[in-house]
């Protein structure tokens, strides 16, 4: 199952291989998690949003919650979309474009 | 700023003839000149977006990128403005009063869309399900194309070959972006508006605006509207610029990480946006840069390292262009400005013939704790 953690590790590894500096894992994790929560919460009702934002620090909560709410296929699409955008964005920064 | 009027006045479509004329003008310019030209023309977001699309269709990726940067910059500005306004109670009152007096067409459309959203979320039609399924396939194809491009990019980088063409493709979202975009526009959106992945794609494509409608904040796309939960009283921008600034602030005490991060963030605080913002007085980015510097970061990170920072900045760039040199100079001036501001605040005056080392020494003598920290 694709998770926020695997996305963060993928981005870290890609950029390391691309001959760039190492990115702080915690900082990157939070950025990815925020991005996931921003978009997941658009499709939730208020109670669900409250639960998401109050329990997001519990291990795997965001992943498990999103998976059960939207299904594995859709959640994977979302994570892949974020992963690819962030790689492109960061490589663009490295290449100064 | 008034959200109602800004939203409607910003979305003023220019004629195709005008757009063609602008594209023709861009053909004769470098990327930097094009950026200046577009800024000078004071185009609205919609027109810029159309220009970007036309340039991309004409495979003029360099200019498409310039237009895209402008759109993102304006979008960011809009988000900052609106977030500020949403958090401003006084503004809210004025806005509500104004809404009562003169409800705009857009408000009415939004209310209608919200109404539809409330009543239509159940029982999707079978044809709609098929459409969604097609869209999922299209989306997967696009992700697969992007994954392939990113693999090619890595290979090209390893082999030391030119990566710019692949990167241009990536930044435009691959070759089938327009197809996905058109599917998203024409599809029945009943199902899509409850799908985070497609909403995310729409946010990227359509640059929606945040708008207060009937006491609720809604994310307004040209084609759909999405209610945001009441729980979220203040919207966070999806823009990673915002988030990255927060990350930088959070990790600012880690000097080494911070310095590396800053130097790597040429796109964020680097050449194009900084050069653009400093020369064109994009106050939002300037303000962010200023806030970021004047608070703890400037004093802790730059006060003793201003010269080192500028040297690192220069060393980090090979084959400096005039624009890059100008940017460095602007950053240097900005640092000087903050330095002077700080000294005036701290000592009540600032010597025009100041010598930074002299002031730093004065500062050190008066701030033993900071001296220890700097050491």
B225-227 sheet: strands from edge to edge: B209-213, B216-220, B225-227
User: Lowest mean pLDDT: which of A28-37, B71-80, B136-145, B229-238?
Assistant: B229-238
- DSSP secondary structure string, B99-149? HHH---HHHHHHHHHHHHHHHHSSS--HHHHHHHHHHHHHHHHHHHHHHHH
CB contact under 8 A, A27 and B247: yes
**Rounded Cα gap, residues A49 and A46, in angstroms:** 5
Residue B299 reports pLDDT greater than 60: no
| Residues in chain A within 8 Å Cβ distance of B145 | none
Got the DSSP string for B240-289?
HHHHHHHHHHHTTT-HHHHHHHHHH-HHHHSHHHHHHHHHHT-HHHHHHH
Mean pLDDT score of chain B: 59
Q: Which of A29-33, A55-59, B250-254 has the lowest mean pLDDT?
A: B250-254
- Return the structure tokens found at B275: 């050069």
Return the half-sphere exposure (C-beta side, CA atoms, 13 A cut-off) of residue B147: 13
Paired with B213 in beta bridges are B216
Average pLDDT over residues B96-114: 53
The answer to whether B264 contacts A21, with C-beta atoms less than 8 Å apart, is yes
Strand partners, B217: B212
Which residue in A17, A25, A52, A91 has the most chain B C-beta atoms within 10 A of its own C-beta, making it the best mutation to test that interface?
A: A91
Query: Does residue B354 have a pLDDT over 50?
Result: no
Q: What pLDDT, on a 0 to 100 scale, did the predictor assign at position B222?
A: 60
For residue range B19-78, list pLDDT tens digits in order: 777 777 777 677 767 777 777 777 777 778 788 878 877 777 777 777 877 776 665 555
Q: ipTM of the predicted structure? A: 0.91
Residue B202 pLDDT: 73
Q: Whole-number mean pLDDT of chain A? A: 82
Highest mean pLDDT among A52-56, B192-196, B274-278, B298-302: A52-56
State how far the Cα of B30 lies from the Cα of B193, in Å rounded to an integer.
Answer: 40
Q: A56 at the B interface (CB within 8 A)?
A: no
Read off the pLDDT band of B294 (50, 70, 90).
Answer: very low
pTM above 0.90, yes or no: no
Convert the pLDDT of each residue in B124-158 to its tens digit: 445 555 667 788 888 899 999 999 999 999 999 88
Report pLDDT for B270: 36
Structure tokens at A61: 């909560």
Residues in chain B with CB shorter than 8 Å from the CB of A95 are 163-164, 167
DSSP B307-341: HHHHHHHHHT-SS--HHHHHHHHHHHHHHHHHHHH
How is residue A26 written in tokens? 């915690």
pLDDT tens per residue, range B164-215: 889 888 888 888 877 777 777 665 566 676 788 887 777 666 666 666 555 5
Shortest distance between the Cα of A64 and any Cα of chain B, in A, equals 15
Give yes or no for a contact between B290 and A63, defined as CB atoms under 8 angstroms apart: no
Highest-confidence range of A67-81, B5-19, B302-316, B359-373, by mean pLDDT?
A67-81
Q: What pLDDT, on a 0 to 100 scale, did the predictor assign at position A23?
A: 66
Q: What is the pLDDT of residue B115?
A: 53
* Interchain CB distance below 8 Å, B146 and A84: yes
Q: Tell whether the model's pLDDT for residue B89 goes beyond 90.
A: no
Alpha-carbon span B197 to B131, nearest angstrom: 15
């Amino acid at each position: 199952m694709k998770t926020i953690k695997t996305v963060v590790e993928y981005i870290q590894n890609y950029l390391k291989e691309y001959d760039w500096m190492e990115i702080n894992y915690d900082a990157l994790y939070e950025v990815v998690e925020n991005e996931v929560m921003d978009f997941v919460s658009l499709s939730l009702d208020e109670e669900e949003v409250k639960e998401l934002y109050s329990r997001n620090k519990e291990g795997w909560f965001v992943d498990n919650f999103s998976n059960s709410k939207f299904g594995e296929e859709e959640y994977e699409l979302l994570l892949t979309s974020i992963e690819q955008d962030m790689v492109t964005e960061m490589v663009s920064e490295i290449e100064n474009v | 700023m008034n959200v109602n009027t800004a939203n409607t006045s910003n979305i003023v479509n220019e004629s195709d003839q005008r757009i063609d004329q602008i594209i023709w003008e861009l053909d004769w310019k470098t990327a930097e000149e094009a950026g200046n030209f577009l800024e000078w023309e004071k185009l609205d977001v919609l027109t810029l977006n159309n220009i970007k699309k036309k340039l991309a269709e004409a495979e003029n990726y360099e200019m498409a990128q310039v237009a895209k940067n402008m759109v993102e910059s304006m979008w960011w500005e809009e988000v900052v403005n609106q977030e500020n306004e949403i958090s401003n109670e006084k503004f809210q009152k004025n806005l509500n009063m104004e809404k009562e007096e003169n409800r705009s067409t857009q408000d009415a459309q939004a209310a209608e869309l919200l109404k539809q959203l409330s009543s239509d979320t159940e029982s999707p039609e079978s044809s709609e399900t098929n459409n969604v399924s097609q869209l999922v396939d299209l989306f997967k194809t696009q992700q697969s194309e992007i994954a392939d491009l990113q693999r090619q990019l890595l290979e090209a980088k390893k082999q030391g070959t030119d990566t710019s063409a692949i990167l241009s493709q990536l930044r435009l979202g691959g070759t089938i972006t327009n197809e996905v975009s058109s599917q998203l526009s024409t599809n029945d959106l009943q199902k899509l508006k409850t799908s985070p992945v497609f909403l995310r794609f729409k946010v990227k494509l359509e640059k929606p605006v945040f708008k207060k409608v009937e006491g609720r904040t809604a994310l307004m796309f040209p084609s759909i509207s999405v209610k945001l939960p009441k729980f979220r009283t203040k919207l966070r921008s999806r823009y990673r610029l915002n988030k990255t600034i927060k990350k930088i602030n959070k990790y600012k005490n880690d000097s080494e990480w911070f310095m590396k991060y800053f130097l790597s963030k040429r796109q964020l605080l680097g050449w194009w946006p900084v050069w653009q913002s400093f020369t064109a007085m994009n106050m939002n980015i300037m303000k962010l840069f200023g806030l970021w510097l004047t608070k703890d970061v400037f004093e802790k990170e730059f006060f003793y390292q201003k010269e080192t920072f500028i040297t690192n900045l220069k060393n980090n760039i090979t084959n400096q262009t005039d624009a890059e040199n100008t940017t460095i100079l602007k950053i240097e001036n900005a640092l000087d400005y903050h330095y002077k501001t700080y000294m005036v605040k701290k000592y009540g005056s600032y010597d025009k013939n100041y010598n930074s080392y002299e002031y730093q020494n004065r500062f050190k003598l008066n701030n033993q704790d900071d001296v220890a920290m700097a050491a």
